[in-house]
Amino acid sequence: MRKVAFALVALMLMACGLRTVDSRPEAIVDVTPEMVVGTWRNAGRDATFVFAADGSMQALHVPPEFFLDFQYALTPDFDRNRDRIDAAGSWTLPGGKPSAPALVRNTVSLTFEPGGFIQNRGGGGLEVHRQGSQTMLQFRAIVFTKCPEPCAGGSGVSPSPSR
C-alpha cells in the first residue's frame, strides 16, 4: 500500500512540476497594429521583416518555406542551397474585427509582390505568440522577435533580387 501511495504522490509532484516548466508560447488574441509595426528578426537564419504603419512590408532573407505551399511562386532558377529571398509587399490583420474567430485574431497576413526570385504574387501568415513578456511572430518552427531600432543585421532592408 505504501508503494501505491508513494507512486501517486510522485505522479502528482511530477505533474505539478511539468506545469511550472512548460515553456510553450501562448497565442495572443486581438493583435493590434502597434504590436506588429517595427523590425522583427530571426538571427539564426539572418532573416528580417520590417512592418510599416501604412501596411507595407519589406523582408530580407525570407525563408523559402514561406513559398512551399504556392506552386510556381519562386522562379525556376531559385537554388534553395545558394540563394536568399528578399521581398516587398503588404501586411494586414485579418482578425481586426471583433466577429473574427480567435484562430485568425492572432495572425499577421502577408502578401508578397513579384520581384527577384518571387515570380507570382503570393501570401502567407505569421502567428503572434507570447512567452513570458516576449512577443514573437512565428511561421512553422521559424520564430521572429521584435528588436529595438536599429536592429542588428537588419538595418537597411531594401528588397532586391539576391542573385
Stated pTM of the model: 0.74
Q: Decide: 35 and 128 in contact? Cβ < 8 Å.
A: yes
Q: What is the pLDDT of residues 32-64, one digit of tens each?
A: 899 999 999 999 989 999 999 999 999 999 888
Tell me how far apart the alpha carbons of residues 48 and 42 are, in angstroms, rounded to a whole number: 6
Q: Which residues contact 23 (CB under 8 A, 6 or more apart)?
A: 131
Tell me how far apart the alpha carbons of residues 101 and 105 are, in angstroms, rounded to a whole number: 6
CB atoms closer than 10 angstroms to residue 78: 19
Q: Which residues contact 5 (CB under 8 A, 6 or more apart)?
A: none
- Strand-pairing partners, residue 143, are 138
Q: What is the pLDDT of residues 100-136, one digit of tens each?
A: 666 667 889 999 999 999 988 888 889 998 888 888 9
